[in-house]
Amino acid sequence: MQCSPADVTADRTKSKKSRDCAVSTPRDQCLHAARWIPRAFDMYCNLNKVIQVSCALEADDTVSSTNDPDDESARKARDKILRKANPEKCKRYKRIYDYLKEQVPYFMDLIKKKKSGETALLMREMQQVISWTQSDDASHLKPMIAAYAAPHPDKKLVDPPVNAKGSKDRLGFNHAELTRLLCPVRSLQALLADATGMRKQLQNGSILVTAQKWPAFLYSGDIPGKDYNPEKSDEGFLCGYFVERVLKHIFTSPSSALPGSKVRNTCASNAKIHHMTHVEAYHIAYAAVHACFSICSQDKFVEFDGQFSFSEFYYQIIDFIINNEDEAWVEDLFSHYNKVLFNDVHGTAGDDVNIDDDDDDLAIMRQQIAACLASSSGPSSGTRPSENCSPTQVSFPNTPQPPASECHTNGRRLSPGSPPSPVQSLENTGFSFSQLSSFRSPKSASENNTNGRRASPGSPPSPVQSPENIGSSFSRLSLVRSPQPSASEPERRARRQS
């Protein structure tokens, strides 16, 4: 599958909505899957390494399971590849590889068929999409920083104001309020006590800022990290309002990020497009890195800001969550973010936001109906249900029928002597279906049709005839009465006239 550089450029310039939704061709499916890799699998994914290591692991498993003699050169080549990947990387690569096998079988077929030219070209395009996704998310986040970084944006934004379109050289430790967010949490109390002196030390490098020192914005509180307890450093960790807002901005929508804002679902969210049902460690780490980069002084999305490595910061957060021995803490963290993102601590099984049964009128009605049916079912099957349980009228076989003069017409009682309604129910008119066979059209019996077939003379009429064959319209059927007692000729004439 050949693709010119112009096609790649054209795909880059498409709108976000079209890039996320257009998956009509095998190439589109590959690029669509690539956009989700940095957000949900590995922000710094190298597809070439993923394929090499995963194929080597797969080949090792095949050889060990079949006991086939292994080619010495092939074994050495696999060992050389696997020596460069530690077990944690192998696990991460395998996770991405399994995702690609499920989502883009076309790409995996190219690898198995060893079509190196097409595979290399498509892999290069997918790698570009991974990089573009990071840049897109960063650029879309930039105009919202003044609101997201403020604890109460409805009352006050970040001060001094952040220029969304200009350079970021005044951000980071050059900005008073943003310094409190980026400051290592262990140095925050000193910063609050002496803001000017501590800012100078952070700017000139006297206080070393690395990925091994958690920034204060990762912690909860209106002033994130103010209540940091060195003895219990995981309390409030990864629950800062800034990370929560960035996570919602990226995975749901910018309109849902701020508290009390009106959600405008003008297009499908990333979570919905890629069928995200719950929050994982990779989602939280991705949001944390973007939160950190958005308020630093770097204009381009790079790996380092001074001594601070964004990639180390990313993998440390993932490692802390995945390999945390305190399972209750991890479960509480995921429940918190599921509630933030999906309004449900368990996430969502569908594409829409979950609603509690107490807020769902349909669920309440079903529960009430089920309760009524359960209470009405007694020891005998003929027990009459309570009138309060059913919204409809219940009829019983022994209910006496009103006389013909008081027949109902669509729920309206006729007064004695009033002419019958043009349309009456068959039950009220006393009409019986067995009378259908006794009707004849004005034509002779020999000319009657039965379902479009001419009946021979003397043949009995069909039990079921169409209305046009029996010479009667449905409006005339409503005037038929069940056999009445014999009456005099004047009474019958008066009845026909009425």
Residue ranges in the chain modelled with pLDDT below 50:
1-21, 349-353, 380-399, 404-418, 420-457, 459, 462-482
Residue 311 in contact with residue 380, Cβ under 8 Å?
no
pLDDT tens digits, one per residue of 94-130: 999 999 999 999 999 999 888 888 899 999 999 999 9
Predicted pLDDT at 359 = 63
pLDDT tens digits, one per residue of 263-294: 666 678 899 999 999 999 999 999 999 999 99
Tokens representing residue 274 in the block: 């890629």
- pTM for this one? 0.67
Predicted pLDDT at 339 = 94
Predicted pLDDT at 126 = 96
